[in-house]
Structure 1
Amino acid sequence: MVEFPKLPQQKLLQRLEHPQRKVRMVLDTDTYNEIDDQFAVIYALKSPESVTVEAFYAAPFFNDLSEGPKDGMEKSYNELLKIRAIMPEMTDIPIYRGSEGYLAEAGVPQESAAARNLVERAMASSEDDPLYVVAIGAITNVASALLMEPRIIEKIVVVWLGGHALHWPDTTEFNLAQDLHASRTVLNSGVPLILVPCAGVASHLATTLSEVEDYVRDKGPIGQYLYETYRDCSKDHFGYSRVIWDISTIAYLVDPSWIPSTLVHSPLLSEDFRWSVDHSRHFIRCAHYAHRDSVFKDLFRKLGE
């Protein structure tokens, strides 16, 4: 069984505070799975006052848009290349293929270029300047890196869109439920974790085709790409809105008042995907709301810059 180093509580709590400065980050994304990842990728690159994106990792996913986790990861990798072709800010940022599958059992990592790069990049980081690992898909690559080199706990902060709000009846959410072993690894490891739940929190971040037409479409090639991505996500946009979940993680780093959060004990995750509380466990930071208008105003403004 892998043993993770335990951060002194004072240091853990310090890491769980918003950095209040520009940070280095990597973005782990299942970019082809939904339309929100594309918005998040571009939002991060358009926020150089808050973050420096050092690398992108393609995460696995499996649903009706892929033939399996490997295919989902490859499609996400190719979608990142597509964005790079129309976004000059992304030209020199490396993109790594992630895991071809989920963790087959607890404690056994999935080998990938993404996980290996995360280990290397984290271990080269100073403890005074931790690497922020922003994950907006299944947490397989991040969990694998933790299992490969547990010492990276001392060098990183994970910001993950995963699960549902802690009061939700269940937490059968796509990112979390795809890889139970990976999700438990991250929640149990003691790594500094900022958790942004989906239902009940990031679910506030909905927009409409009309809004995208007005504030996104005419913002150059990137605006047109995001507009077409949104337009094509539904055959009927009458009375329809779509949640752009993943931008919540970037918004937290830009301004934590937009994604308010509190310290909680890291929840236990059951086999049937439900939360339970154990007050003896380490702390994480968990978001409990998203100020929708503030986040979209910032995103729409930056697309025009």
Structure 2
Amino acid sequence: MTQPRIRVIADNDYSGDPDGLVQLAHHLLSPSVDLRAIIGSHLRPGDPFDPSERTGENAAARAQEVVDAVGSARAPGSPRVIAGSNVGLADARTPIRSVAATAIVLEAMRDDTDLPLYLACGAGLTEIASAWLMEPRIAERVTIVWIGGPEDPDLASPPPGHSEVEYNLAIDPIAARVVLEDSDLPLWQVPRNAYRQALLSTAELDARIRPRGAIGALLADSIDRVAEFAGAAGLPLGETYVYGDSPLVLLTALQSSFEPDASSSESVLRPAPRLSADGVATFDGSGRSIRVFTRLDLRLMFEDLFAKLARAAR
């Protein structure tokens, strides 16, 4: 029986791109993780995935659907599902004292466990920035794993037709500046050039995810809806989908056995970018040092997902 050896708080925009739903299901099925809380975080206003004004609350509701679909197959533990703020930070000094940000602080400041704590974030950084502003000492007790941010030009080139401000960074540029520039939070970043590596084909989705019970159907149907929506808007997605939030599982649950680390993926230490008020990144070498992942172990990540879904379905 695998025992938990790390704690994780999962923070993601679960009412947005359904790659976060896949990440959540995978974390729920991972017995080495003590999943302490699941935070539904907000999207940008008017985001086509969820244009409502209640995206944090909607994200929490969607996350609960995943928890229910996984059901008794999930790893031991009862993670609390919490709605984060529906809006981003107003300035770089004032936290949003949400229930979610408070939960991060309380978990980080526990003194009754030695299990390392990871904040696995696949969206904006509102709750993490707020938690640090509320209690800066959490930086000594957590590691942030963040899917987001643009390419460091010394490491990679942006994709064709890219947006100047990367999608997750644009959700809350102020919070990103707090985390990357102001805080001393240990940060593992999976930037756009890395998370775009996480491709599965439609054939793989149909063969290895869709047949796996209620959770497999939920995940596959959620991705189908995006493909249909995009196709109707004149943006055919082809034969693949980017499962860009799944590295959150790879870099936490699937660390090496001895001397635990994300040893099967490649990373470098780099200065964090400087960010303008609207989130435009400048890589001038003056930022604090962060760990930037450049190449991901996709075989381990996806085969583990497929195996755990198959085991859950049995």
TM-score class, shorter:
0.7 to 0.9
C-alpha separation in 1, matches of 2:213 and 2:20: 19
Deviations 1:52-104 (A, max 9, x none): 21111110113023335x41111101101211222222772111111121101
CA contact (8 A) 1:126 1:155 kept: no
The 1:92/1:294 distance shift into structure 2, 3 A limit, reads closer
Aligned partners of 1:248 and 1:259 also within 8 Å: no
The answer to whether the Cα contact below 8 Å between 1:137 and 1:161 also exists between their aligned partners in 2 is yes
Say whether residues 1:287 and 2:293 are aligned partners: yes
Name the residue aligned to 2:101.
Answer: 115
Q: What amino acid is aligned across from residue 59 of structure 2 in structure 1? A: S
Equivalenced residues, count: 282
Q: Deviation of residue 259 (structure 1)?
A: 3.1
Q: Once the two structures are aligned, what percentage of the paired residues are identical?
A: 29
Q: Distance in 2 between matches of 1:132 and 1:195?
A: 13
CA contact (8 A) 1:258 1:295 kept: no
Match 1:53 to one of 35, 56, 60:
35
Say yes or no: does 1:32 pair with 2:15: yes
Which residue in 2 is equivalent to 1:270?
A: 276
1:11 is matched with none
SS at match of 2:54: helix
Alignment partners' CA distance in 2, 1:260 and 1:222 = 31
Distance 1:65 1:239, change over 3 A: closer
Give, in whole Å, the separation in 1 of the partners of 2:199 and 2:213. 22
Quote the Cα distance in structure 1 between the aligned partners of 2:283 and 2:209: 42
Q: Secondary structure at the match of 1:48?
A: coil
Measured after TM superposition, the shift of residue 126 of structure 1 is: 6.8
Give the gaps of 5 or more residues in structure 2.
Answer: 256-261
Match of 1:224 among 203, 217, 220: 217
Would the aligned equivalents of 1:209 and 1:231 in 2 still touch at CA under 8 Å? Answer: no
Q: 1:141 to 1:57 in 2, by over 3 A?
A: same
User: Match of 1:64?
Assistant: 48
Report the CA distance between 1:173 and its aligned residue. 1.3
Corresponding residue to 2:142 among 156, 159, 165: 156
1:184-228 per-residue CA deviation (whole Å, 9 max, x = no partner) reads 100021110101112x11101111221111111221111111121
Normalised by the length of structure 2, the TM-score is: 0.83
Does the CA contact (< 8 Å) of 1:44 and 1:250 recur in 2? yes
Say if 1:119 and 1:145, in contact at 8 Å, map to a contact too: yes
Mapping of 1:174-189 within 5 angstroms? 174-188=167-181, 189=183
> Equivalent residue for 1:201?
194
Aligned match of 1:135 in 121, 128, 150? 121
Counterpart CA distance in 1 for 2:283 and 2:244 is 25
SS in 1 for 2:35: strand
State the AA in 1 paired with 2:289.
F
Please say if residues 125 and 131 of structure 1, whose CA atoms lie closer than 8 Å, have aligned partners that are also in contact: no
* 1:124 aligned partner: 110
**Residue among 307, 310, 314 paired with 1:301:** 307
1:213 aligns with 2:206: yes
Shift of the alpha carbon at 1:124? 1.0
Q: Where does residue 10 of structure 1 map in the other structure?
A: none
Q: Greater shift after overlay, 79-88 or 258-267?
A: 258-267
Given candidates 261, 265, 286, the residue that maps to 1:259 is: 265
Gaps of 5+ in 1: 1-20
Give the distance between the partners of 1:150 and 1:38, measured in 2 at CA.
Answer: 30
Structure-2 separation of matches of 1:114 and 1:216: 30
Residue 82 (structure 2) aligns with: 96
